[in-house]
Structure 1
Amino acid sequence: MATSEEDVRRLALAYPEVTERSCYGTPAFYVSGRIFARIHDEPGVLVLWRADLGEREALLQGEPDKFFTTDHYRGHASVLARLARLRTAELRELLGESWHARAPKRLRDDTA
């Protein structure tokens, strides 16, 4: 089943100390002031932060129907995801990984 922006919001806000505010005119999700996910200005696309470029490349190579990038994100540890291709459980896992990549150690330790 395809996921939506509402699924992103519901799942992202469930993580500790997450706030939502606008970034580049679209909803974005922050943990302790650090962005970890953002609705892209292209409809149906989510920007997800990854721990490093290796993680990003693994997603891009492994599932190019779900994940892609643009020149704007070249060299940046984030990936673009097509929400229509993600199941809810997969979106939850991806958001959790993004949250973990950006959350301060004290929060990561509390959720380990």
Structure 2
Amino acid sequence: MTNEEMRAIALSFPGCEEGTSYGKPSFLVNGKFFTRLRREDRSLVLMDVPIDEREMLMEAEPATFHVTPHYKDYPCVLARMETLHPGSFRAFLERRFRKVAKKSVVKAWEAERAGG
């Protein structure tokens, strides 16, 4: 996935905007952390991934999914952008979006996606 693809996918979610989180360039929804690209290893921070799912992802696709000591106790996984499939990235963000966006925004977004 390219920087442009990553940015377009993140910004396609209602209310997503570029900002900062802990001083790092990030994408936010409803003022809450959505995702960010770690410049040091070109990995995306994907939140709301239970630790057991993270372990399975790292075992199944070690070239893509990993974790650093900083994130080991958090329900998240890091994904190397160059090997992460754009559809997978969108699916991880959908999960996060449902958690951090306002309920009314999620409901409208889901209705639009369902065609009505």
Q: TM-score under structure 2 normalisation? A: 0.78
For 2:52 and 2:103, locate their aligned partners in 1 and report how far apart those are by CA, in whole Å.
21
Q: Which runs of 5+ in 2 are unaligned?
A: 111-116
CA contact (8 A) 1:48 1:80 kept: yes
More off after superposition, 64-73 vs 95-104: 95-104
Q: Which runs of 5+ in 1 are unaligned?
A: none
Higher RCO structure, 1 or 2 (CA under 8 Å, sep 6+): 1
CA contact (8 A) 2:98 2:106 kept: yes
Q: How many residues are treated as equivalent by the alignment? A: 110
Summarize the Cα distance change of 1:56–1:111 in structure 2 as closer, same or farther, 3 Å threshold. farther
Residue 6 of structure 1: aligned partner: 4
% identical aligned pairs: 34
Matches within 5 A, 1:1-112: 3-112=1-110
Amino acid corresponding to residue 71 of structure 1 in structure 2: P
For 1:39 and 1:86, locate their aligned partners in 2 and report how far apart those are by CA, in whole Å.
12
Amino acid corresponding to residue 31 of structure 2 in structure 1: G
Answer with 1 or 2: which has the greater Rg: 2
Q: TM-score under structure 1 normalisation? A: 0.80
Amino acid corresponding to residue 99 of structure 1 in structure 2: F
The alignment's C-alpha RMSD in Å is 2.1
